[in-house]
Structure 1
Amino acid sequence: MTISNSPFHDADILRIGECTVTLSSREVQVPGARRLRRLTPKAVGVLRVLVRSNGRVVTRDELFAEVWPDTLPTNDVLTQAVTQLRKAFTADSEDGPAYIETIAKTGYRLRVAVSAVDPLERSAVPAGDAPTPPPVQPPAGRDVDVDADTDVDLAMHMDTDTGAIHTPPEPLLLAPIRPRSAWRRARRWVLLGVGLSMLLALGVMAWLLLHRDTSPSAVDAAVENGTRVIGSPQRPYRLITATAGFETYPTLSPDGSQVAYEASEEDGSGQIKVQTSGNAPARNLVDRPDGAVDRFPNWSPDGREIAFARFSGNGRCQVLIASATGGNVREATRCDGTELLSFDWTPDGSGLVFGSMVGTYAHRGIRVLDLASGRWRALTYAAHKDDFDYAPRISPDGRWLVFVRNPQVGDLWRMPAEGGPLEQLTDDAAEFRGWAWLGDSRQIVFGRRVDSEARLYQLDTEARTLRDLGLDDAQWPAVARSTNFLAFVHRKAQFGLYKVPVKDPARAQRLFASSGRDSQPMLAPDDRQMVFASDRSGSYALWWADLQQPQSLRPIEGLRPDTRQPPAWSADSRHLLVLGRDDQGEPHVYEITPRDEQLSVVPVPVARPLQALYLDDPDRLLVIERGDDQRTRMSLYDRRDWQRLATLYGVSQARFDSERRRVVFTQLGASGLWSVDASLSPASVQQLSADKPSRWRYRAWSVAGGGRVDYLDESSQCSSGLLRIADGVEAVSRCLDASRLSAGNGLSSSVDGNDVYVSLAVSDGADIGVMALPERPAEVFPAFVNSLKIKP
């Protein structure tokens, strides 16, 4: 439909209702609107057709023919164009009149009056402002000079030639000068500020581009120009040890040129070795007595000495200091009977700062030992009786002290170096595997267990930002004090599941062979079903199998299990309680029916569950959780209304002994084993073992038949030994495997106690790796950047 006789056929500026439309620039001026509206070309085409129709209904077909000729458009494109027109004719603060009416099943028509606007009138009458009266012309023959920015002087004056006084004519009625509105002046300054900000941003971007690292990554460097393979990508680190044994707990000289570490000997003992950060042969730091084990080396800030711990027979322990070149050994303190020993140098090298200690010289909390006088100074800060503070280290600038509270399921905490208020740096309840300061006293590198491996992370203690360093199977980091040179333990073990007859360990049988890492074997009470955690499929998952039908092995879909605690079976072997995480990393308790492949979230009223257990009462559930006060506790819940019935603090892991209707558990604050009745009555708590399990192996035990408890221990003579505890009496039952270590996060025993199901290392070993950490980019405007960071 073409309407050539429309009075608006050649008009460019139209008054449509109360709005002014400039067709050539596709602009719409709306009274009361803050800015111009701009239309799409198709919307303008639709508007032209509606205007030329003089108020009659225009069908959809006519609009398609006029605006979308020679195409096959859908109804959606026309609807979008009309919708844009309606929005363009609406003021910001109100719905506005309905300019375009929809005629059902037909088309559209324009409901408002349309008139053409003379371009001269348009330029003289700015949209949105009151019209300005035309200026009054001065009388003929009289010149009047009017400055638009000044007032006209109309006072009487004297003729200097004749002395006559002249009265001026009637004042001229000048056109009122329209002052700029306040918002326009403000807009000018805003636009100026935006422009300056953009220039500043461009300058910063240019600076960053000039100073960026243009060197290709290791992955990019493996291919030349994307056309030719050069080689495999280079690792960001290199291994400086390559033996069949274990090299652990590295420490670096201040300049990063030398590494000291603990090396396992053939007899199972430990020896401190020192070598350059290259692959040069290592030397022994000192000669050690027969039967002694030297561990935990720590280089002094001045690089002259190395402190380490020596463990001898009968529980004797010493912290010794030796010259870094060897010899001149002296004792700093005794640590007899201790466990999870941790210490570090003070920044000035005058003392050692110790974490919590147990044994003969036990002390709960962090202390500083002055080496010259031998005096201890305890730091004052908040701690509960069930807290164990581990690996304290003072920042290089001497301002902060950071430590790990309860490293089994703990977090990093910070306080002033002299003690005082605590500040929590992480909130993961994770299994920590060492940590170290970076040189600027703001950055921290730490290791923690994730799924089936341990990884390293870098934490900014001020911004609370965290990043993965991209190192697989890395733990126990150490950083040189003068450089960002990093050393760490690289352990890539493969674990398999074994069924081991207690009376004849030589007949051990491997289950479900694979090249992955299998752990946490949990046997059901029916002695037939088993679940375990594994990365055998490439991703970490929980697997289920019927042991009488090995081909039934399959992963449980929709679940990412947590590594901290093993699953728990119900008494009828039908259900499982498993801790897992959702896609956002939030922990949940899941209830699984593995045979039917059903999974659901249990709505436990806790934010951070760590373990869940069935009891003999189906309406009750035990949950180990970490509360808002950051304390770990075991709580008894009624599943019908989720009321908390009882609580026991400091529990790290628990198992339900159905034969004796008791809960057996370990604690964070001490080694050993305890039991409590099913109602968690404090009066029923009793200790079953004084020192087994240890704090670090708190998950390597299981409740067996007859009320027995089986514990996987290790010693220099037997890497995986079974310790059976019955009625509080401990006895070494068997050495399950003399050379292979067991995984420390899961164990199952058959109901009759004749077999144990363990995860043993198929291949194992640990080496020392070193690498230079990339420098943190300098902040161009640190104060401005810090002001933008969000604090937790």
Structure 2
Amino acid sequence: MSKTALTLIPMQTIDNEKPAGDRLRIGECLVVLSSREVHPPDARKVQRLTPKSIGVLLALARRAGQVVTRDELFAEVWPDTMPTNDVLTQAITQLRKAFASAAVDGDGVAYIETISKTGYRLLVPVTWEDAATDAAGVDAEASDDAPQPAVVEPVAAVQDEAAARPAPARLPQRRVVRRYVLSGVGVLLLASTLVMAWLLWKQPESPAPQETVSGTRVLGSPERPYRLITSTSAFETHPDLSPDGALVVFAKESDGLSSLWVQSTGTATPVQLVMPPEGGSDRFPAWSPDGREIAFARFLADGGCEVLVMPATGGTARRVTRCDGTEMLSFDWAPDGRSLIFGSMTGSQASRGIRTLELASGRWTSFSYAMSGDDFDYAPRYSPDGKRIGFVRNPQVGDLWVMDADGSNAERLTEEAAEIRGWAWLTSSEMVFGRRVDSESRLFGLDLGTRLLRDLGIGDAQSPSVSRQGGNLAFMRDQPQYGLFRFPLGVAGGEPQRLFASSGRDGQPMVSPDGRQLAFTSDRSGAFALWWARLEAPDSLEMIDGFRPEARQPMDWSADARHLLVTGRDAEGLPGIYEVIPEEGQWSKLPVPVNEPLQAVYGRQPGTVLVVERAVNDRMVLALFDRTQTPWKRLAALEGVSQVRVDKTGGQVLFTRLGSPGLWQVDSSLALSSARPVNREVPTRWRYRTWAVADNGTVQYLNIGPRCATRLDAINPGANGLSQCLDAVRYSSGNGLSLAPDGSAAFIALAVADGADIGVMPVPRRPPRRLMGVAKWLPWLGKHPS
């Protein structure tokens, strides 16, 4: 908050003395210390705080109206410990949520103010209830009706005795109204009870749960909630449902090329929509609102790109715009069918932010809304009622956003920094999206009103599509199995060697600097975890449990090959950086002083660590820390970084940027003046994790080339790296590889079983919101069969 804003806060009389009571008033809210409860006015649900949050609240309340620094809060609430800033941030966030319903702005900021780089201040009055009030209770209604002290007015010395006689007692008006209201509520409750009894009597018996055994015979496994309508060896991707949900158009990928097909959501044979030209690929189909046309992107053999529209029944396609050089292309129809809405574009049609293209005139119109220079807004879609536009900001490490249809009031809906894999509107108030979780992608529903997520129970699923008229949901089901391989480099005819084979999904193989150890992630035990082994002793393989590693970010070995930095989450899902001693199976969570750590690597200088974080302003920042000091000292920072490695021989820090493709380097001090590009084209945004550095400074990149599913290329000019096709058919994982210290081998997670199909199912119904404990009995409130 600015200094000007600080002077506008009204002065209030605040009582900071603490009587011997258990209750205190914080603004309009009542706080009960013994039970750690916050009672907002007129709120049905009591908010319960953690002991640390109560401690922070008491510290702020004792000095209400004054700034309490972070160090003072740490000393009072976390004595004799070394907490990180995130524990205090979490406590403040919980307090603001508890006070949110009583705040004018609805988010609790009006109660607790953040003083930038200093601490916090409680802005509302604080009043401690006395012991008598504690014993009597604090019911607001009872206090309103309680007798008030009489106010004695002066009277004449001589007055008529009859006139001085007190008037007959009368009930207060509020109590009379309350009596009538309670009587009315009683009548309504009686009527609702009778109606519920009648409904239960008339309601037909619900079908029994699906049986798998009759007592003497096995009847079969229960049916899945979805059907797969494709089952070929090709990859069926990017499904889009017709408005009535009867047909689905999708891309079929084979041998590196793609074509569009249309199929009934039943079991009919698919029909090819259009034949792409020689060497071309058609992708990203989108059905028009009236169901008569399909828009799609065509990528040509010469590198050209165009967006086409053609009749859904087949025929001639017409070009509406070019998209040459565009990476991460995304578009959809406007509700009136007269224009297309596009996400951010690169290449010859480069444009930051969301804009629309009028099909008849070819005129572009951009939306005016707030976004930073590194933001990439992807997959914009109008809500079914046409009033809002949803989109994904930075889908590699981003969140879902929504704004009004005119571009105003843009706001973030999620706070996950997750890898979003497609999304769609379920209704005008709920979304469905695919999100990477550990080793798979799952579908989640998001309620825009409550911001609550619900797991739809559909694993290995992404790219959801919902018919505009509701009813059906289509998605891509992808169930790859990845194994770890050691590929010899520069050896003619060298055969890859599979390591530590299992039926699970292995990923992120990181070889140690001595070339003798390998750390990786896997769900081979049934739970996603970190694994370690010595390469010459396969029997040494063991799981390191206690935290869940992050699947998107690579690990980093220390120079002595003894320690390992791993990004992970604790049991509550909170992100952190863990330092592991793999050979001993020990680990500790590091006190990294950042908002949300996404990756950490050892710095070139002893005692330094480089951390990629998502800061409080949603910017991606690379920070250099001196960890020998307590708390860690921030030495330098560089904005816009999505992933980092250290060239330990050349002394350079290599990184990718969130706002553009390519590879960059900067000196070990992160001096901005030393930053320069290494390659401006690769890695691409989607494959920004598939590169590694050898000890000789060679940077190798896993690419998808023509007729080669997994290709390894050297991307730094003048390096001694190799370019070779590792596997013509099988694809590599998109989240990590490593190189042997001498550059003689690459350690890669390669698909040993792969394929993608299209699934279709009825739209999952939202669980009913309970009303007076009986909503589950009322069919019109969305009762599920049981």
Q: Deviations over 1:120-145 (max 9, x none)?
A: xxxxxxxxxxxxxxxxxxxxxxxxxx
Range 192-201 or range 394-403, more displaced: 192-201
Matching residue within 320, 324, 341 for 2:312? 324
Shift of the 235–94 alpha-carbon distance from structure 1 to 2, 3 Å rule, reads closer
- Measure the CA separation in 2 of the matches of 1:216 and 1:680: 65
Residues 545-587 of structure 1: per-residue CA shift (max 9 Å, x gap)? 1112111111102011111201111111111111111111111
Distance of 2:200 and 2:494 partners within structure 1: 64
User: Cα RMSD (Å) of the superposition?
Assistant: 3.2
Match of 1:553 in 2: 541
User: Displacement of 1:618 after TM fit?
Assistant: 3.1
Instruction: Find out whether 1:774 has 2:764 as its counterpart.
Output: yes
Equivalent of 1:431 in 401, 419, 426: 419
Amino acid corresponding to residue 584 of structure 1 in structure 2: E
Map Cα deviations across residues 6-34 of structure 1 (whole Å, 9 max, x no partner).
Answer: xxxxxxxxxxxxxxxxxxxxxxxxxxxxx
CA deviation string 1:237-284 (max 9, x = no partner): 00010001100000111001111000013x421000111111211111
Contact 1:343 1:392 in 2 (8 A): yes
Aligned to 2:755: 765
Q: What secondary structure sits across from 1:527 in the alignment?
A: coil
2:704 matched residue in structure 1: 714
* Consecutive aligned runs of 4 or more in structure 1 exceeding 3 Å deviation: 91-96, 176-217, 223-229, 726-732, 774-782
DSSP 3-state at the match of 2:637: strand
Contact 2:489 2:722 survives alignment (8 Å): no
- The answer as to whether partners of 2:424 and 2:433 remain within 8 angstroms in 1 is yes
CA shift for structure 1 position 614: 0.8
Label 1:348 to 1:514 Cα distance change in 2 as closer, same or farther (>3 A): same
From the superposition, tell whether residues 319 and 183 of structure 1 become closer, same or farther in structure 2 (CA, over 3 Å).
Answer: closer
Q: Which residue of 2 aligns with 1:661?
A: 651
Q: Secondary structure at the match of 2:302?
A: helix
> What residue in structure 1 maps to residue 573 of structure 2?
585
Structure 1 residue 181: Cα displacement: 10
In 1, the alpha carbon distance for the partners of 2:304 and 2:661 equals: 18
The 5 Å alignment of 1:188-587 reads: 192=183, 195=186, 199=190, 202=193, 215-216=206-207, 220-223=209-212, 229-265=218-254, 267-438=255-426, 440-504=427-491, 506-587=494-575
> Could you tell me which amino acid in structure 2 is paired with residue 240 of structure 1?
I
Deviation at 1:230, TM superposition (A): 2.2
* Cα separation, 1, equivalents of 2:283 and 2:383: 23
User: Normalized against structure 2, the TM-score is what?
Assistant: 0.74
CA contact (8 A) 1:484 1:775 kept: no
Letter in 2 for 1:628: V
Shift of 1:188: 6.1
Structure 1's unaligned 5+ residue stretches are: 1-90, 97-170, 786-792
- Give, in angstroms, the shift of residue 405 of structure 1: 0.5
CA apart distance, 1:725 = 2.5
One-letter identity of the residue aligned with 2:747: Y
Q: 1:705 aligns with which of 690, 695, 700?
A: 695
- Report the counterpart of residue 131 of structure 1 in structure 2: none
Distance change (3 Å), C-alpha of 1:264 and 1:95: closer
- 1:391-446 Cα shifts (integer Å, max 9, x gaps): 011112111011101000000111111212311011100001100112x3111110
- 3-state SS of 1:278 partner: coil
The answer to whether the 8 Å contact 2:423/2:431 transfers is yes
DSSP-derived class of the 1:610 partner: strand
Q: How is 1:646-657 mapped onto 2 (pairs within 5 angstroms)? A: 646-657=636-647
Partners of 2:731 and 2:221 lie apart in 1 by 33
Query: Which deviates the most, 727-736 or 306-315?
Result: 727-736
Which one is further off, 496-505 or 749-758? 496-505
Checking the alignment, whether the CA contact within 8 Å between 2:423 and 2:432 is kept in structure 1 is yes
Shift of 1:660: 1.3
2:223 aligned counterpart, secondary structure: coil
Number of the residue aligned with 1:50: none
Instruction: Identify the residue that residue 602 of structure 1 maps to in structure 2.
Output: 590
The equivalent of 1:616 in structure 2 is 604
- Residues 314-343 of structure 1: CA deviation (Å, up to 9, x unaligned): 320000011101112100100001110000
Judged with a 3 Å threshold, the aligned counterparts in structure 2 of structure 1 residues 185 and 618 are, in CA distance, closer, same or farther, namely: farther
Matched ranges for 1:14-93 at <5 A? none
Alpha-carbon contact 1:689-1:730 (below 8 Å) kept: no
Normalised to the residue count of structure 1, the TM-score between the two structures is: 0.73
Q: CA 1:732–1:659 in 2, change beyond 3 Å: closer, same or farther? A: closer
Q: Match for residue 121 of structure 1?
A: none
Q: CA deviation at 1:223?
A: 3.5
| TM-aligned CA deviation for residue 210 of structure 1 | 8.4
Kept after mapping to 2: 8 A contact 1:382/1:421? no
Amino acid at match of 1:510: R
Task: Give secondary structure in 2 for the equivalent of 1:272.
Answer: strand
Over the matched positions of the two proteins, sequence identity in percent amounts to: 54
CA–CA separation in structure 2 for the residues paired with 1:407 and 1:190: 53
What residue number does 1:644 align with? Answer: 634
2:615 maps to which of 627, 644, 647 = 627
- Describe the SS at the equivalent of 2:624: strand
Per-residue deviation at 1:761? 0.4
Q: Deviations over 1:602-655 (max 9, x none)?
A: 111123111111113232211111111111111112221323222111111111
Letter in 2 for 1:251: D
Contact 2:278–2:301 (8 Å) recurs in 1: no
| Code of the aligned partner of 2:684 | S
Structure-1 separation of matches of 2:487 and 2:202: 60
Change (3 A) 1:546 1:209: farther
Q: Matches of 1:357 and 1:601 in 2, distance apart?
A: 40
* Secondary structure of 1:507's aligned partner: coil
> Does the 8 Å CA contact 2:474/2:758 hold for their aligned counterparts?
yes
Structure 1 residue 178 displacement after superposition: 9.7
Over 3 Å counting, the alpha-carbon distance change for 1:183 and 1:441 in structure 2 is closer
The structure-2 alpha-carbon separation of the partners of 1:215 and 1:772, relative to structure 1 and needing over 3 Å to count, comes to farther
Cα displacement (A) at 1:184: 9.4
For residues 50-107 of structure 1, the C-alpha deviation after alignment (integer angstroms, 9 at most, x for no partner) is xxxxxxxxxxxxxxxxxxxxxxxxxxxxxxxxxxxxxxxxx987999xxxxxxxxxxx
Measure the CA separation in 2 of the matches of 1:201 and 1:607: 50
Provide Cα deviations, 1:503-524, integer angstroms capped at 9, x if missing partner: 2464100000000000000111
Aligned residues: 616
Equivalent position of 1:738 in the other structure: 728
Contact 2:699 2:721 in 1 (8 A): no
SS at match of 2:731: coil
Report how far residue 599 of structure 1 moved. Answer: 1.2
Q: Is the 8 A contact 1:708 1:727 kept in 2?
A: no
In the alignment, residue 643 of structure 1 is paired with which amino acid? Answer: K
| Alignment check: 8 A CA contact 1:336 1:361 kept | yes
**Quick check: which has more Rg, 1 or 2?**
1
Alignment deviations for residues 269-319 of structure 1 (CA, whole Å, 9 cap, x no partner) = 100011111121111111221111111111110000000100012320000
Structure 2: runs of 5+ lacking an equivalent = 1-130, 137-161, 776-786
CA distance in 2, matches of 1:293, 1:546: 44
Deviation at 1:594, TM superposition (A): 1.1
CA distance in 2, matches of 1:447, 1:210: 42
* Separation in 1, partners of 2:204, 2:689: 46
Find the aligned partners of 1:200 and 1:632 in 2 and give their Cα distance.
58
Partner Cα separation in structure 2 for residue 608 and residue 721 of structure 1? 33
Structure 1 residue 732 displacement after superposition: 6.0
Offset at 1:360? 1.3
In structure 2, C-alpha distance between the alignment counterparts of 1:204 and 1:540, rounded to whole Å: 50
The amino acid of 1:469's aligned partner reads: L
What one-letter code is carried by the residue in structure 2 that aligns with 1:468?
D
Amino acid at match of 1:263: K
